[in-house]
Structure 1
Amino acid sequence: MLVLGIIMLCIFTAMLSNQIVATALPSIVSSFDGMERFGWVGSAYLLAQATVMPIYGKIGDLIGRKAVLIFALSIFLLGSASCALAWSMESLIAARAFQGLGGGGIIVSAFGVTADIFQPRERARYQSYNSLLLVASASIGPTAGGVLSATLGWRSIFLVTLPLGLIALAGIVALLPRARPGRAVQIDYGGALTLAVAIIGLVLVADSHQIFGSFATWQSVGLFALIAAALVVWVRIERRAQEPVIPLSLFRSRNFSLLLIVAAVSGAVTIGLLNFVALYLQMALGFAPTIAGLFFIVITGGLAVGALAAGRVISATGLYKPLLVAGAILTGVALAGLAGFPVGGPVWVLGAVLLVHGFASGLSQQAPIIGAQYEVSRGHIGAATGAMTLARIGGASLAMSVYSAIVSSGLATVSVPGVAAIDGLSPLALPDLDPAVRDAVEAGFASALRPMFLTAAGLAFASFIAALFLRRVRFEPDRAPSERQIRPE
């Protein structure tokens, strides 16, 4: 159990680094005058995570999880220190990307260790504890980020994870057994490179309106061509590779393919929305960073209940499809509620909507990974876990670029007398504005954010459709993945 505690600390540290930025981000943007790159502070971290997750997962299958975790934690800690030393928006984005290269390995390897230790039904219960770490990080992170950025400055938020990461690193070195799977180490470098090119290209395409000024420029068209070429080459490489990063045989399972869609949407409507919910609470509704952080406790309280309930249901029944269907429905309802919430509306209604959003996220948190792990043999658990976490983080990164484009386009049409640039305002500056000007600023941000929430609600509907088409399966109790028997109902 001590090893499980260290694994949970690894996950918490990696998750905290993303959550703690949310409430501090408006202050960071104001410091560097970089609203047009608002989404990239988060998406750079997530993009780097998504790019390396399948690689870490596969290497863990080949050489064991311990060495991978040690390497990933070391990269993560260097990235955290680099973020604290950033001197511009560009350098911060680069440092966040480097930090994400380590964070991706931490998450996928930690979930891989859990899968190595526990059987599917038992795994659901213990992975619900890992979901509680997301709750803890999402509760502590935004609140701590708001307090630290207001008192010690935004650089302090990146230094908080250093002692936690060092403790986790020491624990992994001392306590996690070194296990070699006994397979020849053959790294699929070509598959990893072409997959990374395709992922990065997709995110750049989503952000091409801001980067190139339009989706119809020759640069955007060139990116589409690059993505298509990279995917074609990737498929050809994976067909021939003895140890492919993501074995193409996994896609023969209908559930595996549909779970990728569900995982991508899950990332888009939870992680992808995190920074924008903080922006909404502070700039559209006028809450101070510390008060906005308290609303994240409401969200994560709902997530805690949803995650624990999902773990108990899966452990008791072996079923996960009903949880994904219900989660998609509730997510769509909550996001539509945020889109329609009026500025100055009742605080208790806002809290209730955010609570439902958190609960729905908890229901869908762990099922895609557990479902995918159950579809594969033990030798491909890392690859399957990497694919699902890639879909989740990649979906979040892609969505953040889309959301950022929607919000930036909306703010470009807003003009407030007495304010030179509405997108350059800090939440700490709102109380000093004339009440009429402040009301106009809040209304402008609300109008810019409303289409974004409706877009996210549409994604939730897509997840609902994908979940409906999942084959209904029941996890057999006390049966290892390599011995599994999927029983249609």
Structure 2
Amino acid sequence: MLQDERDFRLDWSARLMFVAILSSIFLAAMDQTVVSTALPTIARDLHGLAKLPWIVTAYLLTSTVCLPVYGKLGDLLGRKYLLQSAVLLFLAGSALSGIAQNIDELILFRALQGIGGGGLLVTAIASISDFIPVTQRGRYQGLVGAAFGLATLIGPFLGGFIVETLSWRWIFYINVPIGIFSLFIIGAAFPKPVSTAEWIMDVWGTVLLITGLSATVLFASVAGPVLAWNSPALWLLLVLGLGSFTRFFVFEKRHPQPLLPLAFFRFRTFTLSVTLSFFVGVAMLGSISFLPIYLQDVRHFSPTMSGLELLYLLIGMLAMSILAGRRISHKQRYREFPILGALLITLALAWLSRLGEQTPLWHIDGALVLLGLGLGMTMQVLVLSAQLAIPHRHLGVATSTVTLFRSMGGTLGVAAFGAVFSGLMAGVASSAAHAAMIVQTLRTDFLIAASFSLAAFVGAWFLEDMPSLLKKRQDNDALL
């Protein structure tokens, strides 16, 4: 490591930039959880119980499909104005959601908010690489993971407090002052981007990828609860998604500046990073999303108490994100963290697969802490490994691809495990049988999730470590 990088410290301008990045990530991450506590109140107020899931789905859909576009545009045009645009879209969606007069308007405005939210996350994370040396990036990305975890932790409690004391509309209005603060700091701290090359917009690639992602996310979101598994419309969505992806890959091979250069996948560590992110997304969201059902329906916890149980997960994730980041910057090695992290995730999910109707709470809490520690060792570290494998000028695309795969893994995991849950619970009548079947179903889900994290553990052994990747960067640059 170079001496100037070993002694690296943020100057006042860089500190302002980092504050802007953290505030942007905090804003987008908090919104993902703050809304959940207000959904029942929104349904009653807007008389839209049947369409209630679409408040979440609309945001999830647009925030996911826009990730590759933001990543590519950030690399080509610079990230300052792109990040400001994402903040403005997010603020517009938030303000309009707050004044929505019916459920359809709210769904539409949440979709707009998602376009901004997806850009906030991926552009802010990629921006770190523009002013922090690669050898010190782990420490600051650990802080990003901590900010994400903290926002996720605060969201449900802030949402509940706002709904009880003010109105559900204020869960959207509260974003406005935070967003204005971020907008001001970004404008003051970020340097004006300099365009160094001509670029050709990959219009058809963008259309095909957005179509494929949209159809796949919609398929995962509506399969079972909204559209029956024998519905032709459901499978038409899947065919549309797979067909669009096929055309996208064919088209990208011919475009001079593709939205997602397929040459990236020649690099082992990049391919492994996005694949492992997908597995971690499946294991995390696909399994934990249904744990509150167990706590409330089997153990008779209140919604607030079941939310408090998940604090153990977030505490482990928060602490390890910071510790892992500092350790990576100090030792200049990261490979041990995804290996150990995936192992801890597997052990935690296997522990949870032994769940029973009277399992001691300390067993559940211990497993959640273990799971949080594992996630803290993997989520941001896999972003770092993908960035290290790709030349600097493509960092936005690398970041957005890892984020996209993790998001898609979580979405498909929730849908698949939800289908298992719905299928096994069908026809259960008595309350005793209901509780027993929830336990059995969750055991199955946790075992399936553990198999995905075990696959991530095996794959993590083939990651290249930081010294090797830094040596290969110049050769990779020549290939791209």
**TM-score w.r.t. length of structure 1:** 0.84
Kindly indicate whether the alpha-carbon contact (under 8 Å) linking 2:287 and 2:445 is maintained by their aligned counterparts in 1.
Answer: no
Once the two structures are overlaid, the 10-residue window that deviates more, 390-399 or 273-282, is 273-282
Q: Structure 1 CA distance, aligned partners of 2:307 and 2:376?
A: 19
The alpha-carbon deviation at position 371 of structure 1 amounts to 0.8
Match of 1:370 in 2: 384
Match of 1:172 in 2: 186
CA gap 1:311/1:340 in 2 versus in 1, 3 angstroms? same
Q: Structure 2 CA distance, aligned partners of 1:3 and 1:263?
A: 27
Q: Structure 2 CA distance, aligned partners of 1:10 and 1:463?
A: 29
Match of 2:330 among 316, 323, 343: 316
CA gap 1:5/1:356 in 2 versus in 1, 3 angstroms? same
Q: Structure 1 CA distance, aligned partners of 2:471 and 2:392?
A: 8
Q: Structure 2 CA distance, aligned partners of 1:158 and 1:278?
A: 25
Counterparts of 1:37-436 in structure 2, within 5 Å, are: 41-86=55-100, 92-152=106-166, 154-206=168-220, 207-214=222-229, 216-271=230-285, 275-416=289-430
CA gap 1:95/1:337 in 2 versus in 1, 3 angstroms? farther
What amino acid does structure 1 have at the position aligned with 2:225? Answer: Q
The alpha-carbon deviation at position 101 of structure 1 amounts to 0.9
Kindly indicate whether the alpha-carbon contact (under 8 Å) linking 1:238 and 1:247 is maintained by their aligned counterparts in 2.
Answer: yes
CA RMSD in angstroms comes to 3.1
CA gap 1:342/1:10 in 2 versus in 1, 3 angstroms? same
Secondary structure class of the residue paired with 1:180: coil
Kindly indicate whether the alpha-carbon contact (under 8 Å) linking 1:376 and 1:481 is maintained by their aligned counterparts in 2.
Answer: no
Kindly indicate whether the alpha-carbon contact (under 8 Å) linking 1:284 and 1:444 is maintained by their aligned counterparts in 2.
Answer: no
Kindly indicate whether the alpha-carbon contact (under 8 Å) linking 1:119 and 1:481 is maintained by their aligned counterparts in 2.
Answer: no
Match of 2:6 in 1: none
The alignment-based identity, stated in percent, is 31
The alpha-carbon deviation at position 149 of structure 1 amounts to 3.7
Kindly indicate whether the alpha-carbon contact (under 8 Å) linking 2:35 and 2:159 is maintained by their aligned counterparts in 1.
Answer: yes
Kindly indicate whether the alpha-carbon contact (under 8 Å) linking 1:25 and 1:275 is maintained by their aligned counterparts in 2.
Answer: no
What amino acid does structure 1 have at the position aligned with 2:450? Answer: A
The alpha-carbon deviation at position 151 of structure 1 amounts to 4.5
Kindly indicate whether the alpha-carbon contact (under 8 Å) linking 2:388 and 2:466 is maintained by their aligned counterparts in 1.
Answer: no
CA gap 1:65/1:265 in 2 versus in 1, 3 angstroms? same
Q: Structure 2 CA distance, aligned partners of 1:49 and 1:186?
A: 24
The alpha-carbon deviation at position 443 of structure 1 amounts to 5.4
Query: Structure 2 regions of 5+ residues with no counterpart?
Result: 1-14
Secondary structure class of the residue paired with 2:63: helix
Secondary structure class of the residue paired with 1:209: coil
The alpha-carbon deviation at position 123 of structure 1 amounts to 0.4
Q: Deviations over 1:39-76 (max 9, x none)?
A: 65444423322211110011111111011111111111
The alpha-carbon deviation at position 344 of structure 1 amounts to 4.2
Once the two structures are overlaid, the 10-residue window that deviates more, 199-208 or 445-454, is 445-454
CA gap 1:88/1:445 in 2 versus in 1, 3 angstroms? farther
**TM-score w.r.t. length of structure 2:** 0.86
Secondary structure class of the residue paired with 2:379: coil
Q: Structure 2 CA distance, aligned partners of 1:69 and 1:80?
A: 16
What amino acid does structure 2 have at the position aligned with 1:472? Answer: E
Once the two structures are overlaid, the 10-residue window that deviates more, 106-115 or 286-295, is 286-295
The alpha-carbon deviation at position 114 of structure 1 amounts to 0.1
Q: Which structure's relative contact order is higher, taking Cα pairs within 8 Å and 6+ residues apart? A: 1
CA gap 1:37/1:352 in 2 versus in 1, 3 angstroms? farther
Kindly indicate whether the alpha-carbon contact (under 8 Å) linking 2:353 and 2:447 is maintained by their aligned counterparts in 1.
Answer: yes
Match of 1:434 in 2: none
Kindly indicate whether the alpha-carbon contact (under 8 Å) linking 2:202 and 2:258 is maintained by their aligned counterparts in 1.
Answer: yes
CA gap 1:409/1:35 in 2 versus in 1, 3 angstroms? farther
Q: Structure 2 CA distance, aligned partners of 1:242 and 1:334?
A: 45
CA gap 1:17/1:192 in 2 versus in 1, 3 angstroms? same
Q: Structure 1 CA distance, aligned partners of 2:57 and 2:295?
A: 20
Kindly indicate whether the alpha-carbon contact (under 8 Å) linking 1:48 and 1:100 is maintained by their aligned counterparts in 2.
Answer: yes
Once the two structures are overlaid, the 10-residue window that deviates more, 89-98 or 166-175, is 89-98
Once the two structures are overlaid, the 10-residue window that deviates more, 404-413 or 248-257, is 404-413
